[in-house]
């Protein structure tokens, strides 16, 4: 869903509100914050999904990444996106509608995407176009009236219509950020993959911690016990936020699986050495 100018300006103002006063923060707004050393998977997923989408939008229609390299910066705690287009490199941007056929789009209601460099030219060309039409219909208009028409035409371009154009990267970032108002995730699949990966790491760490209580168990016995507990351990997915698990629950599941394993082993030993159970012998009798 496209955002209107007022909404984009509000998001831009919030993104550019930063305690640091350097060149980066003056032109690039901080969006999609994420603390790499934290454990919030929602922020982590949205950060990486947004970064890819914003970069792709910045480089749309290009064979290189020159634009995204400048307009999109992956910071340590946020994505920094250049908010407004600058006039310094205006002629290099494909988005700039400097072709005369697009001039008709430049008015107070439907703004064209003009860089600062072409903004005045676009305005003057539109006024000259209108003046040509007026002269065609009213050939008797003298130079004084033409000057008056030109001055009044300048006045009709409100300050709002002359505002700088947003970068495509920022517009994409703003739309993505605004979508989070209704739903917390940008990509369910990405989040689920990250949650499952975090869950597996959490379970492995919790199992290793639980196994420390049983120093006498061999590694083979430990692996067998983990296989016995795998179904119950798998059911812990989603029980805690961000793919985490309670170590106490893992310890209990592991202990129960361990009891099951050694109970079965004890019964087998009892059958062999006390009852004289021999499956091969039974097979001979069966023949």
Which residues constitute the domain of residue 128? Answer: 100-156
Based on the domain organization, do 9 and 108 belong to the same domain? no
pLDDT in tens, 1-41: 688 888 998 898 888 876 444 455 668 889 998 888 778 99
Residue 89 domain-assigned?
A: no
Residue 205 domain-assigned?
A: yes
Based on the domain organization, do 175 and 38 belong to the same domain? yes
pLDDT in tens, 154-169: 655 544 444 567 899 9
Please give the model's pTM, rounded to 2 decimal places.
0.66
| 41-58 and 168-179 helices, crossing angle to 10° | 150
Based on the domain organization, do 194 and 247 belong to the same domain? yes
Number of domains in the chain: 3
Based on the domain organization, do 196 and 80 belong to the same domain? no
pLDDT in tens, 192-231: 999 999 999 999 999 999 999 999 999 999 999 999 999 9
Residue 90 domain-assigned?
A: no
Helix (H, G, I), strand (E, B) or coil at 23: helix
Average per-residue pLDDT in the chain? 79
Based on the domain organization, do 174 and 46 belong to the same domain? yes
Residue 12 domain-assigned?
A: yes
Q: Report whether pLDDT(119) > 50.
A: yes
Based on the domain organization, do 109 and 199 belong to the same domain? no
| Torsional class of 167: left (φ above 0), alpha (ψ -120 to 50), beta (otherwise) | beta
Percent helix, strand, coil in the chain, to 5, is 60, 5, 35
Q: What is the DSSP letter of 84?
A: B
Q: What is the mean pLDDT of residues 100-122?
A: 48
Residue 19 domain-assigned?
A: yes
């Amino acid at each position: 869903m496209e955002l209107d100018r007022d909404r984009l300006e509000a998001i831009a103002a919030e993104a550019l509100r930063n305690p640091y006063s350097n060149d980066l923060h003056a032109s690039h707004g901080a969006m999609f914050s994420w603390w790499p050393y934290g454990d919030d998977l929602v922020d982590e997923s949205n950060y990486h999904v947004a970064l890819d989408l914003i970069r792709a939008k910045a480089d749309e229609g290009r064979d290189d990444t020159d634009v995204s390299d400048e307009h999109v910066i992956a910071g340590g705690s946020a994505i920094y996106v250049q908010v407004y287009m600058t006039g310094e490199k205006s002629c290099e941007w494909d988005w700039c509608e400097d072709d005369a056929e697009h001039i008709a789009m430049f008015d107070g209601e439907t703004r064209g995407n003009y860089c600062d460099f072409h903004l005045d030219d676009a305005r003057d060309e539109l006024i000259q176009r209108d003046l040509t039409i007026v002269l065609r219909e009213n050939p008797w208009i003298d130079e004084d009236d033409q000057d008056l028409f030109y001055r009044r035409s300048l006045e009709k371009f409100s300050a709002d219509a002359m505002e700088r154009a947003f970068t495509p990267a920022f517009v994409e970032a703003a739309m993505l950020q605004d979508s989070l108002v209704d739903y917390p995730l940008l990509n369910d699949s990405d989040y689920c993959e990250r949650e499952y990966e975090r869950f597996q790491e959490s379970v492995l760490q919790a199992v290793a911690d639980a196994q420390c209580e049983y120093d006498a168990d061999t590694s083979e016995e430990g692996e067998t016990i983990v296989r016995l507990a795998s179904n119950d351990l798998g059911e812990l997915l989603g029980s805690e936020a961000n793919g985490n698990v309670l170590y106490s629950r893992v310890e209990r599941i592991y202990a129960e699986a361990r009891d099951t394993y050694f109970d079965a082993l004890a019964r087998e030993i009892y059958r062999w050495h006390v009852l004289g159970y021999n499956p091969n012998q039974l097979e001979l009798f069966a023949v």
